[in-house]
Structure 1
């Protein structure tokens, strides 16, 4: 069984494309193409299920047309419409040079002061990249700027983002 902490969300399945089971996949992270993945994980009725890729092609910078194994009709493809798409953390690169914001969703955000003491701020539930200033949304409703100069470290083994947040930011 695939557990939520083993994956990160990379998009959503849209409408069927054509009559042979192809679907539109709107993605926020192209990690599936960068690491040449064999499968994607779809959330079907609350359960994370692997779907093997037969082929895909890019329609735009945000949409790929995907054909999954065993999905051969428009009716079967329609059943997948609206499913969230996830990617295994184990297959994604943990090289911080190629790390994407979506890979840290689910990580715990900790504030590290100048003395090295850590304070848990919250868990990252979403990343807003719609503007030039990227914001991390935490499970407690807080928004934290995702400025590279504030990041101290990314600890993948603890699934933790360590930041040195400016004084007073957490009091807003």
Structure 2
């Protein structure tokens, strides 16, 4: 499985207990019901390795997971700090006007008055707010992902149109 054909859904934080369970941080962008998953991929040495789930207990943004063949705290420690992925093909299609964070990386951002601002380098979570991150004139610009700032998203052309208030780029 190629890492480019997958999307990040969480991170194995640390061992939980003595029987191989781990504590997992679930990304807020994860559309799937984590508790119903049968298997996931963990990133290990630039490769994705499949892990089959025996048991899951979800509590808010964390889950306690028991993987097959991870049977001790030592085994659990070996997979700690590994990123968890699922294939992009398993992700529900985003609705019109909505997007997953990884979908808009490298999209060109165009302001209605200033023209081309730059390309999205990441989508950052700041509390309850999502922000588009891009470089413009040598400085980092953070644009909130909500109206009235984003006016349209064209996924086929990889373009995001924004209407920024006067002076926004001078901050």
Interval containing the TM-score (normalised by the shorter chain)? 0.7 to 0.9
Q: 1:55 to 1:84 in 2, by over 3 A?
A: same
Shift of 1:18: 1.7
Which consecutive aligned stretches of 4+ in structure 1 deviate over 4 angstroms post-superposition? Answer: 167-172
Q: Is 1:124 the counterpart of 2:115 in the alignment?
A: no
Q: Is 1:136 the counterpart of 2:132 in the alignment?
A: yes
Q: Is 1:109 the counterpart of 2:83 in the alignment?
A: no
Larger radius of gyration: 2
Q: CA RMSD in A?
A: 3.1
Separation in 1 of the partners of 2:145 and 2:70?
39
Count of residue correspondences:
162
Q: Would the aligned equivalents of 1:110 and 1:162 in 2 still touch at CA under 8 Å? A: yes
Q: 1:144 to 1:61 in 2, by over 3 A?
A: same
Matches within 5 A, 1:130-169: 130=127, 132-138=128-134, 141-149=140-148, 150-153=150-153, 155=155, 160=158, 162-166=160-164, 169=168
Shift of 1:26: 0.8
Q: Would the aligned equivalents of 1:2 and 1:49 in 2 still touch at CA under 8 Å? A: no
Shift of 1:122: 1.7
Superposition TM-score, scaled by structure 1 size: 0.74
Equivalent position of 1:77 in the other structure:
76
Structure 2: runs of 5 or more not aligned: none
Q: 1:91 to 1:70 in 2, by over 3 A?
A: same
Q: Would the aligned equivalents of 1:24 and 1:65 in 2 still touch at CA under 8 Å? A: yes
Matches within 5 A, 1:41-52: 41-52=41-52
Superposition TM-score, scaled by structure 2 size: 0.74
